Amino acid sequence: MTETKQILALNRFDAERARGLDGRLGELVARRQRAFGVSSVLFYEQPLEIARAEGVFMFDASGKPYLDVYNNVPVVGHCHPAVVAAIAQQAGRLNTNTRYLYESLTTYAETLLGTFPAALSNLSMTCTGSEANDIALRIARAWTGGSGFVVTETAYHGNTSLVMEVSPSSYRKGRELPPHIRTIPAPDSYRLAPGEDLGEVFAGHLQRAIDDLEGSGIRFAGLILDTVFSSDGVFADPPGFLARAVERVHRAGGLFIADEVQPGFGRTGDGYWCFGRHGIEPDVVTLGKPMGNGFPMGGVVTRPELLECFCAETGYFNTFAGNPVAVAAGQAVLDTLQREGLIANANSVGGYLRDGLWRLAQSDARIGDVRGAGLFVGLEFIGVDRAPDGALASHVINAMKERGILIGAAGAYGNVLKIRPALCFSQANADQFLTTLQAVLDVG
């Protein structure tokens, strides 16, 4: 149970190949490697130089358009004019910190909190989802007095030292789990045995992990889950399957942290938050990526008594968090989601897209499963006996790129296409994706 699976970095550019790149690209890559060293991570066998982006499209240096089905940060579309105008206007007016009063901050918080269950009435702002999860874990430690966390085997929750502990997908080969962390299998609806109930199976794994922690003398602090299991391979169905696990968490005295950094802000097509799909009420919710459509911002939403418990232990202040420019960007995102009906669009176009993918699957046995909610869709490539086929996913990703579509993969074996375009994705965009995928699969 505590064995950590490694995501195969199939889609990662390999610096060793840099010498084989042609003129400008080769020079750009070499300069970048010099300045950023090993910390430079690039997509694709042939990295992509991107010059601009608009709506659901990104454009490379030569002007070639790419339909962006990968990046979930620009949730209302790349460079959305409403967000750009809000940032530009506010950056020219005031950019300071929250130790001064400015009404826009409170108005934003009120708007955002209005999308949550009433008990989740306090917001604390950060600059990133990682900072938000770092706080969430500390809230759980402070509230429970415990240090034990349970996470899924291929979870990713961010990059601070503390959050990395609960992000086994980022562990390098051979790194062991810290003694206070337990991993459990993702709720793999595709590999469920006949007659099994997904909620029961998942809650059973959780209970054994909690028991194992307590048996080791480690008090259970909580369960942290990406509510759509993004890096585990996208698992959204059946709605409600998480309820039993949350019950077990509370019975064991822990907190349930819903990481909405990837699924949040309407992407799953039914309300703002994916936890709503399961009829559950988290103790702590963390926000990030799409919150400012690319402007760095994140947040923690929780109950006042939990926040008080954390703040009693430590004086927390975050210089950039909640600055007026971030707030302007965040407000523009919420307003645009509303004004353009993007959550409903995510639902309908997401359904249309999944239907199309299922039609592809009918005639292509390599597509084992199509799943997800709204515009967070997973498509699983398999071989014999449902064996994950990460190599095919990698091939498809690079071939799709050649044909002008950007897409990524997830799952412990990197075999699940992760489809999550901006929520203004249209049926025509979906058709382009479906046609291209079919063409790539017909050749490959």
Nearer to a copy of itself, 110 or 355 (CB): 110
Which of 308, 335, 340, 364 is in the footprint of a copy of itself by CB under 8 A? 308
Interacting positions 325-354 with a copy of itself (CB under 8 A) = 325-326
Among residues 172, 195, 215, 385, which is the contact residue for a copy of itself, using CB under 8 A? 172
Question: Do residues 134 and 297 lie in contact, with contact meaning Cβ atoms separated by under 8 Å?
Answer: no
Q: Which of 121, 348, 426, 438 binds a copy of itself (CB under 8 A)?
A: 121
Binding to a copy of itself (CB under 8 A) within 123-142 occurs at 123-124, 127-131, 134, 137-138
Choose, by CB under 8 A, the member of 20, 317, 362, 443 that binds a copy of itself: 317
Using the contact rule CB under 8 A, the part of the chain among 232-240, 274-282, 313-321, 334-342 near a copy of itself is 313-321
Query: Minimal distance in Å, beta carbon 286 to a copy of itself?
Result: 14
Q: Would you say 241 or 310 has its CB closer to a copy of itself?
A: 310
Residue 190 in the binding site for a copy of itself (CB under 8 A): no
Site string for a copy of itself, 41-70 (x = CB under 8 A): xxx---xxxxxxx----x------------
Map the footprint of a copy of itself across residues 235-294, applying CB under 8 A.
288-289, 293-294
Query: Long-range contacts made by residues 333-336, C-beta under 8 angstroms, separation at least 24?
Result: 333/75, 333/76, 333/83, 333/265, 333/290, 333/291, 333/292, 333/293, 334/108, 334/111, 334/112, 334/115, 335/82, 336/76, 336/80, 336/82, 336/83
> Is 390 an interacting residue with respect to a copy of itself (CB under 8 A)?
no
Among 200, 313, 355, 431, binds a copy of itself (CB under 8 A): 313
Residue by residue, what is the 3-state secondary structure of 350-416?
HHHHHHHHHHHHHCCCCEEEEEEECCEEEEEEECHHHCECHHHHHHHHHHHHHCCEECEEECCCCCE
Category of 143 on φ-ψ map: left (φ > 0), alpha (ψ -120 to 50) or beta? alpha
Q: Hey, how many other C-beta atoms are within 10 angstroms of the C-beta on 29?
A: 21
Nearest of 314, 246, 317, 319 to residue 278 by alpha carbon: 246
Binding to a copy of itself in span 145-164, by CB under 8 A:
159-162, 164
| 17 lines the binding site for a copy of itself (CB under 8 A) | no
Given candidates 101, 193, 384, 443, which one binds a copy of itself under the rule CB under 8 A? Answer: 101
Torsion sign over Cα 232, 390, 413, 192: positive
Interactions with a copy of itself, residue window 78-97 (CB under 8 A)? 78-79, 81, 83-84, 87-88, 91-97
Judge residue 398's burial from the number of C-beta atoms within 10 Å of its C-beta, 0-12 exposed, 13-18 middle, 19 or more buried: middle
Bridge pairing between strands 148-152 and 181-184: parallel
- Kindly tell me which of 288 and 411 has the beta carbon lying closer to a copy of itself: 288
- How far is CA 334 from each of CA 100, 110, 302, 327, 330, rounded to the nearest angstrom? 23, 11, 19, 11, 6
By CB under 8 A, is residue 319 in contact with a copy of itself?
A: yes
Residue 300's beta-bridge partner residues?
Answer: 124, 286
- The count of residues interacting with a copy of itself (CB under 8 A) is 97
Write down the least CB distance from residue 344 to a copy of itself, Å.
25
Per CB under 8 A, the list member of 235, 275, 295, 425 interacting with a copy of itself is 295
